[in-house]
Structure 1
Amino acid sequence: MMKFTRRTIIAAAAAGTFAMMAPGMSTAFAAEKTDITIAVGGKSLYYYLPLTIAEQLGYFKDEGLNVKIVDFQGGSRALQAVVGGSADVVSGAFEHTISMQAKKQAMTAFVLQGRAPQLAMVVSTKKMPNYKQLSDLKGKKIGVTAPGSSSQMVANYILAKGGLGPKDVAFIGVGSSSGAVAALRSGQIDALINLDPVITLLTRNGDAKVVADTRKVAESESFFGGTLPAGCLYAPTSFVEKNPKAVQALTNAIVRADEWLSKATPEDVAKVVPESYLMGNRDVYLAGFEGNREALSPDGKFPEGCANISLNALKTVNDKIDPAKIDLSKVYTNKFVEEALKKYPAK
């Protein structure tokens, strides 16, 4: 006969409490891996805002995950962290899943954060006061975050609308923060393609004028012929296959964040994000969020055909990619998002 001691009674009570947990919570704790490291390049950008919202509002914890987010200087370094094994998942640009497959390193995107690149092209009001059309940029110096980056990829498409090719301009890497602002204000460049808050800072002060804007979904789709997916969570395909419950938990959290942001006011967002995100200028941050809101995914789903659009855009900065050797059906999946939407249906 079993002898009941204080220790066995406490253990039994604990087991009973665990068994009575909400179904969603017990499923989360059943995840194969609960300690997850996510690498991101530029965490404070609106581009990755759903990641921060999921973290700050406790959505990852609600799913039974202990998530550590490591911020790197750029998306390529965040990707390197996952390839090197120091991180599990990347919060980064969708097109990396395609470029990595071309290198025979399979990556799978599983939840979308942005449905447009959120990049805007501006011209210096000082250097180009008489600007009228995109063709006026011929022979000009255009600042991009880095050579071969997503910003240059998007710039190529915008220039094409003006009948210009990549060789008709000079691309100069200027980063995505104070360096980019300084480069335009000092006259080092004639035009710039960048993200917020850089764009909002320059336009509010009258230093620059917007000439193309992929923060607006309709304008973005006019350039690319459809949705060009932007920020997302992706990981090595092997990680996704070995840890489906953990990936589902991550997806649930981001889908909740996407849905929260689709209804939040700028003030709501400002109250949630770390104070450092405001960079000492609350008004600029609020205006920047309003300008980028519609470019964020409302539900985490990858639209049909988006991978092909991304491949076509990627080819403009990487001519070594052979489309015939890319299987676009393997660079993303919506199955985790579909399950997440059953648990957290859009209201």
Structure 2
Amino acid sequence: MRMTARYTALAAAGLLALSSLTACANDAASTASSGSGSKGDGKGVKVKIMVGGLDKVIYLPAMLTQRLGYFDAEGLDVELLSEPAGVQAETALVSGQVQGAVGFYDHTLDLQTKGKDVESVVQFSHAPGEVEIVSNRHADDITSPKDFKGKKLGITGLGSSTDFLTKYLAVKNGVSVSEFSPVAVGAGPTFISALQKGSIDGGMTTDPTVANILAKNLGKVLIDMRTPRGSKEALGGPYPSSSLYMQTEWVNSHKDTVQKLANAFVKTLKWMSTHTASQIAEKMPADYSQGNKTLYAGAIKTTLPMFTDDGVMPKDGPETVERVLKAFNPNIKNAKIDLSKTYTTEFVEKVTG
């Protein structure tokens, strides 16, 4: 089977471009595809995957897999699409617009309570990779989540994983979800702009947005969950976050394709574990660094500890996620969740090499 490589990129006008480290792929839906359908035997399968922000370091394996040519090597024609928040990737998946989503594992639990069978098939990480940033003007009066009361806190979108984690940190520290205001500001330039203008007092975001904020001295880190240790301190255990998740029905009816996707992504995770942040940065699209390769490589370096090297769900990870969600989400708190149906290791366990 012969595959022809092709790469396309599309950025739709939407949000005002700002000269910052974060890439424009986060401002509007974008696409990038690798490979074309096979010829002759008809087995080449086109797969669309929606990513909750292609340029976010927490979702780096998606674009990196394409750039390394691993989709092509598996005979897949993968089209990567991008939306600013993981909750939008979830919506695209359940509506049937795409076959897979790269986003946080916690969406699989939330969707189960809504009657949707969705499962993580490759677990990219065992920590959230998220950082709670506080504006410099509020650095003295927000010294812990106990101070969230009455504050405006930025999240990527309502119902997003940043929304979930912010609410958990508040409730865990004695602040009810009705005592602060979550503000959907996306990530990248829109998050930074909201912080500069005072539209938010702080908020939860990821690299490279974090690196840009710190470089510009616009805010300070309050809680760092980019490492397993940081995750345990803030959330009480490993928190599997970024993953490839898909509708269970599609997985069961396309096992050969899912196995190829698992092969490609696990190969990328292993590659990441044996290369430096600078080497990884060099493989990514040039515009992701926004002219500052050193800062971008630094952003990757600080986030690298969150990634697994085998795509396997971390032990006790699903239980941590369930406990976190039950702390503030009444739908999940009163629901009986079958965690065994929210992820599978069937495919990553068959990956060789």
1:98-109 correspondence runs (5 A): 98-109=109-120
Q: Deviation of residue 38 (structure 1)? A: 1.3
Cα distance change of structure 1 residues 262 and 160 upon mapping to structure 2, 3 Å threshold: farther
Q: Is the contact between residue 171 and residue 328 of structure 2 (CA under 8 Å) also seen in structure 1? A: no
Q: Would you tell me which structure has more helix in proportion to its own residues?
A: 1
Residues 231 and 238, structure 2, Cα contact 8 Å, conserved in 1: yes
The match for 2:250 is: 239
Give per-residue Cα distances to partners, 1:270-311, cap 9 Å, x unaligned.
211111211232222111101101011222110132222222
Pairing partner for 1:304 from 302, 312, 315: 315
Q: CA deviation at 1:328?
A: 0.9
Count of aligned pairs: 315
Distance 1:154 1:76 in 2: 13
Cα distance in 2 for partners of 1:145, 1:226 equals: 23
Q: CA deviation at 1:131?
A: 4.9
RMSD of the alignment, in Å? 2.2
Q: Which of 253, 270, 277 is equivalent to 1:259?
A: 270
Residues 94 and 245 from structure 1, CA distance in 2 versus in 1: closer, same or farther, beyond 3 angstroms? same
Where do 1:153-192 residues align within 5 Å?
Answer: 153-160=164-171, 162-192=173-203
Deviation, structure 1 residue 329: 0.7
Name 1:250's counterpart in structure 2.
261
Alignment of structure 1 residues 256-335 onto 2, 5 Å? 256-316=267-327, 318-321=329-332, 324-335=335-346
Alignment of 1:1-347 (within 5 A): 34-129=45-140, 131-160=142-171, 162-316=173-327, 318-321=329-332, 324-340=335-351, 343-344=352-353
Per-residue CA deviations over 1:50-75 (Å, capped at 9, x if unaligned) read: 11111111111111212111222332
Partners of 2:121 and 2:265 in 1: CA distance: 10
Q: 1:51 to 1:323 in 2, by over 3 A?
A: farther
Q: Distance in 2 between matches of 1:324 and 1:102?
A: 7
In 2, Cα distance between the equivalents of 1:113 and 1:163? Answer: 32
The amino acid that maps onto 2:84 is: Q
Aligned to 1:24: none
The letter for the 2-side match of 1:333 is T
Shift of 1:30: 9.6
**Amino acid of the structure 2 residue aligned with 1:154:** L
Q: In structure 1, list runs of 5 or more residues that go unmatched.
A: 1-13, 15-28
Task: Could you tell me which runs of 5 or more consecutive residues in structure 2 were left unpaired when the two chains were aligned.
Answer: 2-39
Closer/same/farther in 2, CA of residues 220 and 322 from structure 1, 3 Å limit: closer
Residue identity in the other structure for 2:263: N
**CA offsets 1:223-245 (integer angstroms, 9 cap, x no match):** 22211111111111111111111
SS in 1 for 2:199: coil
The alignment's TM-score, normalised by the length of structure 2, stands at 0.83
1:151-173 Cα distance to aligned partner (Å, 9 max, x none): 12212333345443323322222
Q: Whole-Å Cα distance in 1 between the matches of residues 97 and 44 of structure 2?
A: 15
